[in-house]
Amino acid sequence: DYRCRSAFKLIEMDDKYRILKPGFSIVDCGAAPGAWSQVAVQRVNSTGESTELPKGSVIGIDLLRIAPLDGAQFLCSRDITDPSTHMELERLLPEAQADVILSDMAPNASGLRELDHENLVTMCLSMLDLAERVLRTGGSLVCKYWDGYLAHKLQQRLSLMFKDVRTVKPKASRKESAELYFLARMFKKR
């Protein structure tokens, strides 16, 4: 059982694009209550359940508490925009590197669509600073955003960082919501 229906969005994207592989190390930004981390744990084999496959790792980060999950390590009460979180993550990651960064982060909705959009883009840009530091060359990133006038700014930055950037709207995401995901692959290290 998944902790949240959002799991199905990641499952759908990963079934199509094969982002999560056994042995990979994953950073899950905005991980509470932990459904994406559950999917990641299964797909990278971070519990070591499949003994014939390489064993991966999953680190989840959130402002909120997250109930413990076998195969994952959680940094709770942490702000992704805080440089001290970036430093802590670098210490915890195997060889200070991640294969994939996932972000399903969302700020508390203000009810003002434009303000929510701006706040989420700002958080995503900060998450990209983190990606610059810890993502391995060739790595991938999945990032939720709410569509709006700054989306192209986020896309531009992603296009500088990655060889392949596309927009994905999973079927499991409500049609009427402005929610979209960027899938960025083949990270080019500077």
Query: According to the binding rule CB under 6 A, does residue 173 interact with ligand SAM?
Result: no
Query: According to the binding rule CB under 6 A, does residue 79 interact with ligand SAM?
Result: yes
> Of 1-9, 11-19, 135-143, 172-180, which part binds ligand SAM (CB under 6 A)?
1-9
Query: According to the binding rule CB under 6 A, does residue 64 interact with ligand SAM?
Result: yes
Cα separation, 37 vs 69, whole angstroms: 8
User: CB-wise, 4 or 125, nearer to ligand SAM?
Assistant: 4
Contact residue for ligand SAM among 13, 20, 27, 33 (CB under 6 A):
33
Query: According to the binding rule CB under 6 A, does residue 36 interact with ligand SAM?
Result: yes
Cα separation, 140 vs 136, whole angstroms: 9
Query: According to the binding rule CB under 6 A, does residue 59 interact with ligand SAM?
Result: no
Structure-derived torsion over alpha carbons of residues 79, 63, 183, 94, reported in degrees to the nearest 10: 70
Q: Minimum distance between the CB of residue 95 and ligand SAM, rounded to whole angstroms?
A: 24
**Between residue 82 and residue 121, which ones bind ligand SAM under the rule CB under 6 A?**
104-107
Q: Minimum distance between the CB of residue 52 and ligand SAM, rounded to whole angstroms?
A: 28
Pick the catalytic residue from 9, 144, 169, 188: 144
144 among known catalytic residues:
yes
Structure tokens, 24: 């990979």
Query: According to the binding rule CB under 6 A, does residue 49 interact with ligand SAM?
Result: no
Contact residue for ligand SAM among 13, 19, 35, 135 (CB under 6 A):
35
Query: According to the binding rule CB under 6 A, does residue 180 interact with ligand SAM?
Result: no
Site of interaction with ligand SAM (CB under 6 A):
3-4, 6-7, 30-36, 61-64, 79-81, 104-107, 123
